[in-house]
Structure 1
């Protein structure tokens, strides 16, 4: 089935909302704000950015820039740059219809051009993500000389979002999907499949946002702690006890200013891709 613009827009909003509804340690969620941001700002950002994300008239780079402009007009802070960078290609991939979202995504990534890079770079500069710094090659503050895919490939060894572009979103279609499926098959309900997706990313990879702001060692230490927390959450069956454990970890991370933003971005993209897959397979 070829999804409608409204189905894609709705799938994006649902993915953003479900992610904020889940207790994700260190990140903003409905249980606790943090990092001078609120859950309400993320809900507003989802609504503001949804229309350009799902606009079939816009190229991927143009969607990214329009979504960030709309977000900044609404909340005046960077709430969703990573989400938008990941979800714009997924939206365009879904518009191709058929049953294979991943193959569609490979096709749209291959068609990215320098104009996509120009618009995406402008969006990144506008969003002002924390710890961005500068790059020796393909710096976002400069005029791009390569396609967006080539620029992302250049960043792939230090940035998980760049890595997704370079690998056809392999971490999402493999690890993210598997973490969600395992949680559902284990009988997890409500927010818990989303929590397990988030903890999968946080425990499997050193979070790029943490690494940019605090260095690789701190990102790796957080990853190891998250792996320990994930084991304990699996062992606990009582939801209240799980929440206590996660809220304690959440408070610890926020006290130290640690925000695993990239893990949250990957979680949204995973939920969006799952939703799009469901729509594509509607008879």
Structure 2
């Protein structure tokens, strides 16, 4: 796929995620957590050229995109999105099947990728990020990026994607996206987001509020899931999703990992356009 196509797909995925009512996250139907849609739009526009930089190493894409996003938005709006989308973009430059290409990209990550990613993560300073006694992002990298992500995978679902060849993205996100063919674009996005939120405790919530709170939110999402008809018009969907959105925001609970995985799913769907449409 040409770089211009990758950049366009990234921008479109970021905007499509904002167009959907995703409980607890920022979207066009409601701000939250001191952030607004405009922060994420500016971050996406700034990150896009770096995500799609032709031939660039994954670490270079990550560091460039995070730095540009921070300068454009003034806050950490898209670290998780960038970490997920940079290897997908690199995979999309290769001919063949996206998932197979992604495995090859992840297998080829090296120390330079780890060093650049560590610098980007430290610069973004994500909320609730702890310290690791041996391989901390505040210190120079001493192991490869996949190995470092594997160490963090138990408490970070984005790191877990690197350690599992993006198993959640393909097994949950793209699977749900494919099931919703024919539904409105916003409904497909809402279905993907709630599928992630119901599947596992959101890492962002767990880091800031603890695993018990994150598990409680997962259970709430799981109970809500069968109540939403994602093929119904927006008012019917939002009558169910809206109160959950308001409740999470009132409690200060932001399922940011689920939102990041949703953007990456939409991006991967666009990159795999022969099978999916965005």
Residue 101 of structure 1 pairs with residue 120 of structure 2 = no
**1:278 aligned onto 2:273:** yes
> Secondary structure of the equivalent of 1:191?
helix
CA gap 1:129/1:281 in 2 versus in 1, 3 angstroms? closer
1:269 and 2:267 aligned: no
Q: Distance in 1 between matches of 2:180 and 2:230?
A: 13
Shift of 1:71: 0.5
Q: State the 4+ residue runs in structure 1 displaced beyond 6 angstroms.
A: 279-282
Instruction: Give runs of aligned pairs for residues 189-208 of structure 1, distance below 5 A.
Output: 189-208=184-203
Matched residue, 1:12: 10
Match of 2:88 among 90, 98, 107: 90
Is 1:224 aligned to 2:219, yes or no? yes
Distance 2:230 2:268 in 1: 28
SS at match of 2:180: helix
* 8 Å contact kept, 1:53–1:64: yes
Shift, 1:241, TM fit: 2.8
Matched with 1:23 is 21
Q: CA deviation at 1:206?
A: 0.5
Distance 2:254 2:52 in 1: 28
Gaps of 5+ in 1: none
State the match for 1:114 in structure 2. Answer: 111
RMSD in angstroms over aligned alpha carbons?
1.6
TM-score of the aligned structures, taking structure 2 as reference length: 0.96
Among 147, 172, 177, the alignment partner of 1:175 is 172
Q: Distance in 2 between matches of 1:191 and 1:64?
A: 27
- Tell me if structure 2 keeps the 8 A contact 1:7–1:279: no
TM-score, normalisation: structure 1: 0.94
Question: Shift of the alpha carbon at 1:236?
Answer: 8.6
Instruction: Please report how far the alpha carbon of residue 281 of structure 1 lies from its aligned counterpart in structure 2 after TM superposition.
Output: 9.5
Q: CA deviation at 1:244?
A: 2.1
Which blocks of at least 5 consecutive residues in structure 2 are unaligned? none
CA separation in 2, counterparts of 1:137 and 1:83? 26
Cα deviation, residue 191, structure 1: 0.4
Q: Secondary structure at the match of 1:130?
A: coil
- Give the aligned partner of residue 53 of structure 2: 55
